[in-house]
Amino acid sequence: MEQFNLHPLISGRWSPRVFTSEVIDKEKISSLFEAARWAPSARNSQPWRFIYASKNDGERWVRLLDILTPSNKVWAQHASHLVLACVAKVDLSSNSIRKSALYDLGLAVANFTFQANSLGIYIRNMGGFESSKAILNFSIPSEIEPVVVLALGYPDETISSNPDFDVPIKTRRERAATNKFVFNGSWKDLVW
């Protein structure tokens, strides 16, 4: 496969399931949300919303951990922070659906992720959570949709495998070749 000169924050990104016990300091956490704040969005709508807790936050931490599926709770309980990323899917000023809201949230989470990685903080995104429980636990209004949970922390690279999983901690990242998803022409020209 052809190799390109990617920025190290892109080529070096990975998603750990084992974190050190170190809690990320408040200043660094604030910088991650500041990076998300500067993400582009359609018509500058900024539809992202975040609920977060540190593992030292007691009841707030328990409520976030509570929404995860059992298989994610096993390892995510050791993260420094959990973040529930949500999106405002309806523009209340015009009562219209924001078609690009999920895309905009993705851009904000990408900014958040790359800022984190620049500080040595790594993130694992989780779709394995109960949206209905998140809505209940955090009194989320109907125009807001919970989308993904992020586990943040400093990766523990001293451990070669996680006893909770039958997989190595850091595996080779694989991606589809660009010719599988990029084409110049009409859709029918895409070769699967």
Instruction: Establish if 1 belongs to a structural domain.
Output: no
Of the pLDDT bands very low, low, confident and very high (cuts 50, 70, 90), residue 182 is confident
Of the pLDDT bands very low, low, confident and very high (cuts 50, 70, 90), residue 171 is low
pLDDT of 164 reads: 56
Instruction: Establish if 121 belongs to a structural domain.
Output: yes
pLDDT of 157 reads: 74
Instruction: Establish if 152 belongs to a structural domain.
Output: yes
pLDDT tops 60 at residue 180: yes
pLDDT of 167 reads: 47
pLDDT tops 70 at residue 17: yes
Which residues on adjacent β-strands are paired with residue 86? 49, 146
Instruction: Establish if 178 belongs to a structural domain.
Output: no
pLDDT of 161 reads: 53
Instruction: Establish if 185 belongs to a structural domain.
Output: no
Instruction: Establish if 52 belongs to a structural domain.
Output: yes
Instruction: Establish if 71 belongs to a structural domain.
Output: yes
Q: What's the CA gap between 187 and 192, in Å, rounded?
A: 11
Q: What's the CA gap between 153 and 49, in Å, rounded?
A: 20
What CATH code is carried by the domain that includes residue 129? 3.40.109.10
Q: In the structure encoding, which two tokens stand for residue 145, read together?
A: 């949709």
pLDDT digits (tens, 9 = 90+) for 26-53: 999 999 999 999 999 999 999 999 999 9
User: Number of helices and strands (H, E) in the chain?
Assistant: 6, 6
3-state secondary structure 61-118: HHHHHHCECHHHHHHHCCCCEEEEEEEECEECCCCEECCCHHHHHHHHHHHHHHHHHH
| Structural domains in the chain (count) | 1
Of the pLDDT bands very low, low, confident and very high (cuts 50, 70, 90), residue 119 is very high
Of the pLDDT bands very low, low, confident and very high (cuts 50, 70, 90), residue 166 is very low
The larger pLDDT score, comparing residue 37 to residue 182, is at: 37
Name residues whose C-beta falls within 8 Å of residue 102's C-beta, 6 or more positions apart in sequence: 87, 147
pLDDT tops 80 at residue 169: no
pLDDT tops 90 at residue 2: no
Instruction: Establish if 126 belongs to a structural domain.
Output: yes
Domain that holds residue 109: 15-159
